[in-house]
Structure 1
Amino acid sequence: MAGSRIIRAAAAQIAPDLHEASKTLARVLEAIDEAASQGAEIIVFPETFVPYYPYFSFITPAMTAGAAHLKLYEQAVVVPGPITHAVGERARLRNMVVVLGVNERDYGTLYNTQLVFDASGELVLKRRKITPTYHERMIWGQGDGSGLKVAETRVGRVGALACWEHYNPLARYSLMTQHEEIHCSQFPGSLVGPIFAEQMDVTIRHHALESGCFVINATGWLTEAQINELTADPALQKGLRGGCNTAIISPEGRHLVTPLTEGEGILVADLDMALITKRKRMMDSVGHYARPELLSLRLDDTPARYVIPHSIESETEGERDAERTHFTPAIDH
């Protein structure tokens, strides 16, 4: 188990560049350096931070959003590619785990993708948001269950979900069954208004309690100049303010540092990993508090296939089901 290890964690709330991925990347590398100077061993960035979250899709009708969408394609991140190489190198140089949200381009489709780089610089997890939310469905494709994984890293077992994926209890439970120790959540920030930040606080604190893990949450930030650039309509501008709640939560559901709800900054807090055992001694959702004979999770964690080889096509339905799915009991046997 976690023992008495102390991990110093950081969460970044900074503004992206709304024009060039290279400039947002520069901000990422600068933040990694700054967090490293404060002794951080893991840092989490906001949802699809590189090149930027598609705020335009929330306030622009689909009929007129084509140019902005194509611009996002031009600046999107190829994985692996120059941007992931640069982040991996900086993670290695600073001996830090880095969790970064990107708009990933895979030929003709964009995805909301979360990347976890180990302190060695290796990309140990690439996962895609399984269901884009509301306006986001016009921007991104859907991910699959292959990304619902917990990664073994220098700081421990790290899991990640993006934004309203946290409202999918089975997605969260899939990570809980893998005994995540540090959960990295990412939201866009500067969106919807204060109610978004309030709901976010409830969501991340509940996951910390239910999972018995630490949660590092990062939200983005838009400057007033950027809001004015996105729209001159005061009514629409209201939808691009608030909704920020960068925070670090203990397994007991407590804020370890005052959350950042406006402006830019980097939060830093020490994670006493012994608190995981303290919490789970009382309530382990995937252990002594579970009832696997009553409730279990059916998870298809195979990558989505667009071409089915003849060898698979000729199998029986039962054989295919056995190959593509498995049941995850609440207790390991």
Structure 2
Amino acid sequence: MPLLRMAMYAKGVQIYCAPTADGRETWLSTMRHVALEGRCFVLSCNQFTRRSDLPADIPNTLALAPDDVVSTGGSCIISPLGEVLVGPARDGEEILFADIDLDEIARGKFDFDVAGHYARPDVFRLTVDEAPKPPVSPAQ
């Protein structure tokens, strides 16, 4: 979703929230990339889930023991320079928190500002239609 991120960066997003169901180790590097690219804080959340947390009739989990881990979680908080402030939380249910300094965003944009002096609007343009649209339209 690079174009969606670009639209958010152009709006000056300071805290990018990224909920996910992706518990793979590679998710952390993706979140670090987003933080570095947008020079914003990234909060990513994913649930830690054991088999016993799920309804009994979920396919592909019936052979698992109740304490078997189905989703390892991996929630994290990343700084605008890609530093992992907290997480990834993978050992069980946990509430993550961190003190953040929003001035880090401006300091980070001195060397890279993807929607600012690096954007090249004379060459590239992204148009976003933000007008509300009804989710359902009657057939004519």
- Per the normalisation by structure 2, the TM-score is 0.82
**Aligned residue number for residue 293 of structure 1:** 122
Establish whether residue 200 from structure 1 lines up as the match of residue 27 from structure 2. Answer: yes
**Aligned residue number for residue 185 of structure 1:** 18
**Aligned residue number for residue 111 of structure 2:** 282
1:262 is aligned, of 91, 101, 104, to: 91
Output the amino acid matched with 1:268: F
Structure 1 segments unaligned to the other structure (5+ residues): 1-167, 190-195, 309-333
Q: Figure out how many residues of one structure are paired with residues of the other and give that number.
A: 131
Q: CA deviation at 1:303?
A: 2.4
Residue 51 of structure 2 contacts residue 70 of structure 2 at CA under 8 Å; is this kept in 1?
no
The superposition leaves residues 295-322 of structure 1 with CA deviations (integer Å, 9 ceiling, x where unpaired) of 11121222224259xxxxxxxxxxxxxx
Q: CA deviation at 1:286?
A: 0.7
The superposition leaves residues 63-97 of structure 1 with CA deviations (integer Å, 9 ceiling, x where unpaired) of xxxxxxxxxxxxxxxxxxxxxxxxxxxxxxxxxxx
Which secondary structure state, in structure 2, belongs to the residue aligned with residue 241 of structure 1? strand
Establish whether residue 241 from structure 1 lines up as the match of residue 71 from structure 2. Answer: yes
Residue 227 of structure 1 contacts residue 240 of structure 1 at CA under 8 Å; is this kept in 2?
no
- Per the normalisation by structure 1, the TM-score is 0.37
Q: CA deviation at 1:289?
A: 1.2
Q: CA deviation at 1:216?
A: 0.9
The superposition leaves residues 187-213 of structure 1 with CA deviations (integer Å, 9 ceiling, x where unpaired) of 136xxxxxx432211221111111110
Mapped to 1, the partners of 2:10 and 2:50 lie a distance apart of 39
The superposition leaves residues 276-298 of structure 1 with CA deviations (integer Å, 9 ceiling, x where unpaired) of 01110101111111100111112
* Distance 1:223-1:278 versus aligned 2 partners, 3 A rule: same
Residue 247 of structure 1 contacts residue 258 of structure 1 at CA under 8 Å; is this kept in 2?
yes
Q: CA deviation at 1:217?
A: 1.0
Residue 38 of structure 2 contacts residue 114 of structure 2 at CA under 8 Å; is this kept in 1?
yes
Q: CA RMSD in A?
A: 2.3
Q: How does 1:218-233 map to 2 (within 5 A)?
A: 218-227=45-54, 229=56, 230=58, 231-233=61-63
Give the fraction of aligned pairs with identical amino acids, expressed as a percent. 33
**Runs of 4+ off more than 6 Å:** none
* Distance 1:291-1:307 versus aligned 2 partners, 3 A rule: farther
Mapped to 1, the partners of 2:63 and 2:7 lie a distance apart of 42
Residue 208 of structure 1 contacts residue 250 of structure 1 at CA under 8 Å; is this kept in 2?
yes
